[in-house]
Amino acid sequence: MGLKVKGENGVKALLKSQYPGAFRRFPTVGDAAAAVAATAAAKAQTWLQPAVDPPGARDTIVATVDGNVLLMQIPGEVETFAEYVNVVVNILHSHLRSASVVVVVFDEPEILTKAKREEQQRRDESRSKPATYHSGDLAPVPVDDNYTQADIERVRNCHEVMASRAARSRLYDAIGVEVLRRFANIIDGTLVFDGLDPRGATRPMGAMRSPTMSSAGARTEGLVDALAHDPIGEGDLKLAAIEEAVRRVAARPEAERPAALRSACVHFAVTIDTDSLAIGLLQRARRDMEVTDATASAPTFKTAMLMRERAPKRDRWGDEGRASYLVCDYDTLYVLVQKDMWEANTRTVRAMDPVLKRRAITLLVSGWILAGSDFADIKSLHARMVTEAVPALLRHSARMVAAATDSVWAGQAAGVRLLVPQLLERLVELCARTYADEKGARKATIANLAHYDEVQLRRAAWCIAYWAGYELRRDLDEFGFVVDDGDTTEQEDN
């Protein structure tokens, strides 16, 4: 569900270059966690200023890790089931050295919308295949859900199992069971898995998966109940759901909080997916609009996105192969982006009607989706064009922006089908006119922006509603998705 990179014109590159004040790189997860926790403890406006790690900083941090990214990024030289488990255990131990609670979230294929399944199929078909081993004395590689724990332990290369979506979930479950067993007796942290079946590979063949939340470690009492959320099929969206759950707990009187979350006031979303930047801004805008006297007086809560990156060759953290961690402060980024969209200063932005600010963010992210995502992509349109065009659209098409974005927030399928594509069409037209006036504008780019498949607008409209929390499940053909009339598993719109 990611936004496409598109080099310097991609969303992540654009935000880093245009708003450096919202980003900071740290050599380790621990360094990043200490900076955020220290600033939260000091109730400072931003964690980007120098800070000293306060006593007990680790107890203030909850880290939510994208489990799909975690398992799909296992190095190629790690092949057997035991090796997979060892790597995952080591990674999660490192996170638990910085955060007292680590939540690992996964997709739940059983409740994914049809649109998401179509996108996954397209992505699977484009992936390169892992190395395969052929020998009479090697166990066959599972290609569906029908295998046992003993079967998976005999597989020579688990990357082959990961390459088969039909077989992958049982492997995820099996890894989860073994990892939780390894963490059962730890006394200095708590691990939670969200979206795995606790039966692992012992689930009877043919039996339906039953994903749930499972925990291990210290102070687990009441934790799963506190983190519970509505069913969500997409792991990326669970990052935001867990953060909201931790925020709710942090707003309670201390005596009413689960022991593991008693001091929690910082949330880290740990992923490499750029779409989390966009989803984070959407969530920040929603919270801004929903502020009440009670929430305004709630304890300071800090949130950040942490992305693992390879260091550039001449980077001060080391050579090409050494990783560092880019941290994005959502609160700072939100204010900086709003200043540009409204062409205003910080004081003016903070005093603005939050409804207007949420509309602006919704429009901006809609354009980013259209400029290149797993769901929509207009050739030659990129995030920089969209970002530069949004201020004019906010000024001159305020009523259309209001009608379209309000339909998205209300989950009104009819409005999303009609109003949002109309608004996006106007945005693309504005981008095309602005680009055509630039010196050195390329004829091919102008042609691409003038002649595109209208279905991209409708698919982007569906995606912005999805990212905003409304998964439209009916009449998906009207949004440009392929519909299998024989599939009766779709649910009503949320």
Q: Tens-digit pLDDT profile for the chain (494 aa)?
A: 468 766 788 899 999 999 999 999 888 777 887 777 666 656 555 655 544 444 457 888 999 999 999 998 899 899 999 999 999 999 999 899 989 999 999 999 888 777 777 776 776 666 666 656 555 556 788 999 999 999 999 999 999 999 888 999 999 999 999 999 999 988 889 999 999 999 999 999 999 999 999 999 989 999 999 999 999 988 889 999 999 999 999 999 999 999 999 999 889 999 988 889 999 999 999 999 887 544 454 568 888 999 887 655 444 433 334 568 899 998 999 999 999 999 999 999 999 999 999 999 999 999 999 999 989 999 999 999 999 999 999 999 999 999 999 999 998 999 999 999 999 999 999 999 999 999 999 999 999 999 999 999 999 999 999 999 888 888 888 999 876 544 434 444 44
Q: What is the pTM of this model?
A: 0.88
Q: In what order do the strands lie in the sheet with 266-270?
A: 23-26, 323-329, 302-310, 266-270, 61-66, 101-105, 190-196, 212-217
Integer angstrom CA distances of residue 400 from 323, 360, 421: 45, 12, 11
DSSP annotation of 105 reads E
Using CA atoms, how far apart are residues 132 and 154, in angstroms rounded to an integer?
A: 14
212-217 and 190-196 strand pairing:
antiparallel
Scan for tokens 């090409």, then name that residue.
Answer: 320
